[in-house]
């Protein structure tokens, strides 16, 4: 019951964190060393499974017996998606922020799979605001998928559009497309084909299949797959359904009977959604609980966590807090190093504080301005990479007394960076834990969006090597940036841009 009390909050309105960092005089940090396959962090009497055992409490835990595949490139990701669609026999379940309106090939593959296998069922979960945003020719994710519902019926094809309760009434009418998405999104990225699950941070659009770097991990396990199918289905119960009816847009949206509309009754919606999600998580925790003594260091563990603070669900937030505490406690006695990646240098105050206070060494990997998805944007959005550089410089200034915290920027000609996650090297040259999923570890990942990630504790050396090579592959296109370099980059930034920092930190 402790887990449920932690999940179900009485006050679901986001709180603003007010963390104050003291200025400390310190010499310039020396150049940092990078992760390498040869570096040895020192011995320890405890195994990673023992150190991270507290992470298995109050969360479902899956022992994965089949090999886990770590994908490295967007093209591999797309091939796996198409392969999964072609070979699925029972169900396909896709959870993403959106499907690019140009992805007619992907939708055609779904259509062909449905036509060839009358027993196949397809579920798609997208964000309502992003999934109904139209492109230059008026096409949207919803309009792209609605014909599948019409042709094969709701019994076989269900398209769900989750809508945040934070945007309702007159506010919903006032905010235009794109800007309304700052209030909260369905951000979970999981792609399920029968017993196979691809966990990622990538969306379903052309750049994520070609030159937008993310992370992708395929896990094959029937119980693990069933967890994510039920997660998507549960969110689907509190989402709009896409139906093919409206001639103007090509679709219409309907809430299920008896479910509060988040745009009209946000309070009622939050109450119902909180109860439904808490029941799902509590049931999953009970069904997939493991005793600490039953875990062997040869077991590969997969621990899924979700974050839905607008609905009162804070499972991943608690999980991350526990992780930082465990790494810090271990590093007080043994050498430890962790790598944390995000598409944007916009880590939440509590995560930045955890890094700064940690006894462990930390490397932070983010997109360079040129690899930022907003680099070629128009209007005010073109200044967003500059804003992240300002935030990055401020953190480097706060970390100047530490010679074991480095900032690395991903820079690859013609590519953007959208990767996110954690690699933890407790006392070995190979990682003993990784986290992969949708959170960018920023304010909105904690307070605004629906997020899910999976903590993987490898039980064999081959998986450790694969995860390590993934990290090295990202770092191969990255470089360490110094405080002086960031200071030079942000010098001359207009004052009004700095004034937008609170908005960017909480909305982007």
The catalytic residues are 187, 189, 194
Cα 36 → chain centroid: 26
Q: How far apart are CA 73 and CA 412, in angstroms?
A: 13
Sheet holding 240-243, edge to edge: 69-71, 216-220, 196-200, 190-193, 91-95, 121-127, 157-162, 240-243, 252-254
Q: Which residues of 173-208 are buried (b: 16+ CB within 10 A; e: fewer)?
A: eeeeeeebbbbbbbbbbbbbbbbbbbbbbbbbbbeb
CB proximity list for 488: less than 8 A, separation 6 or greater? none
Distance CA 323, CA 326 (A): 5
Neighbours of 170 (CB within 10 A): 7
Q: How far apart are CA 357 and CA 394, in angstroms?
A: 16
Which residue reads 């509060």 in tokens? 260
DSSP structural state of residue 257: T
User: How many angstroms separate the CA atoms of 268 and 86, rounded?
Assistant: 41
**Dihedral class, residue 312 (left if φ above 0, else alpha if ψ from -120 to 50, else beta):** left
For residue 20, give the 3-state DSSP assignment. Answer: coil
Q: Judging by beta carbons within 10 Å of its beta carbon (0-12, 13-18, 19+), is residue 443 exposed, middle or buried? A: buried
Pick left, alpha or beta for residue 383 (phi over 0 → left; psi -120 to 50 → alpha; otherwise beta).
Answer: alpha
């Amino acid at each position: 019951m402790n887990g449920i009390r932690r999940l179900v909050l009485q006050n679901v309105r986001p709180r603003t964190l007010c963390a104050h960092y003291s200025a400390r005089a310190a010499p310039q940090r020396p150049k940092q060393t990078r992760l390498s396959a040869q570096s040895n962090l020192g011995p320890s009497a405890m195994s990673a499974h023992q150190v991270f055992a507290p992470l298995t409490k109050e969360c479902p835990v899956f022992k994965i017996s089949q090999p886990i595949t770590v994908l490295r490139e967007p093209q591999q990701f797309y091939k796996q998606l198409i392969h999964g669609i072609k070979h699925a026999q029972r169900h396909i379940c896709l959870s993403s922020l959106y499907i690019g309106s140009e992805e007619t090939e992907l939708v055609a593959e779904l259509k062909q799979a449905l036509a060839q296998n009358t027993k196949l069922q397809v579920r798609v979960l997208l964000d309502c605001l992003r999934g109904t945003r139209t492109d230059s020719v008026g096409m949207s994710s919803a309009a792209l998928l609605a014909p599948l519902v019409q042709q094969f019926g709701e019994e076989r094809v269900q398209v769900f559009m989750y809508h945040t309760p934070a945007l309702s009434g007159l506010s919903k009418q006032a905010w235009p497309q794109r800007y309304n998405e700052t209030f909260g999104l369905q951000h979970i990225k999981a792609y399920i084909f029968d017993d196979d699950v691809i966990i990622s941070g990538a969306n379903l659009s052309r750049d994520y299949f070609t030159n937008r770097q993310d992370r992708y991990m395929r896990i094959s396990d029937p119980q693990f797959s069933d967890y994510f199918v039920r997660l998507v289905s549960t969110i689907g119960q509190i989402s709009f359904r896409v139906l093919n009816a409206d001639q103007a847009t090509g679709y219409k949206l309907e809430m299920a009977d008896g479910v509060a509309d988040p745009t009209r009754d946000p309070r009622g919606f939050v109450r119902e959604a909180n109860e439904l999600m808490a029941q799902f998580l509590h049931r999953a925790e009970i069904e997939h609980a493991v005793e600490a003594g039953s875990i062997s260091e040869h077991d590969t563990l997969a621990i899924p966590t979700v974050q839905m603070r607008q609905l009162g669900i804070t499972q991943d937030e608690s999980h991350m807090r526990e992780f930082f505490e465990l790494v810090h406690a271990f590093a007080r006695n043994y050498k430890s190093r962790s790598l944390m990646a995000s598409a944007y240098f916009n880590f939440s105050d509590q995560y930045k504080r955890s890094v700064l206070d940690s006894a462990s060494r930390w490397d932070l990997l983010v997109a360079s301005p040129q690899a930022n998805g907003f680099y070629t944007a128009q209007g005010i959005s073109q200044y967003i990479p500059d804003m992240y550089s300002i935030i990055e410089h401020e953190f480097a200034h706060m970390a100047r007394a530490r010679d074991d915290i480095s900032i690395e920027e991903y820079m690859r000609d013609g590519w953007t960076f959208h990767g996110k996650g954690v690699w933890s090297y407790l006392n070995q040259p190979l990682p003993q834990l990784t986290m992969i999923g949708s959170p960018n570890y920023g304010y909105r990942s904690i307070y605004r969006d629906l997020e899910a990630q999976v903590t993987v504790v490898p039980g064999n050396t081959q998986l450790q090597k694969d995860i390590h090579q993934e990290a090295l592959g990202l770092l191969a296109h990255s470089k360490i940036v110094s405080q002086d370099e960031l200071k030079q980059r942000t010098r001359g930034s207009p004052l009004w841009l700095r004034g937008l920092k609170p908005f960017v930190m909480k909305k982007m």
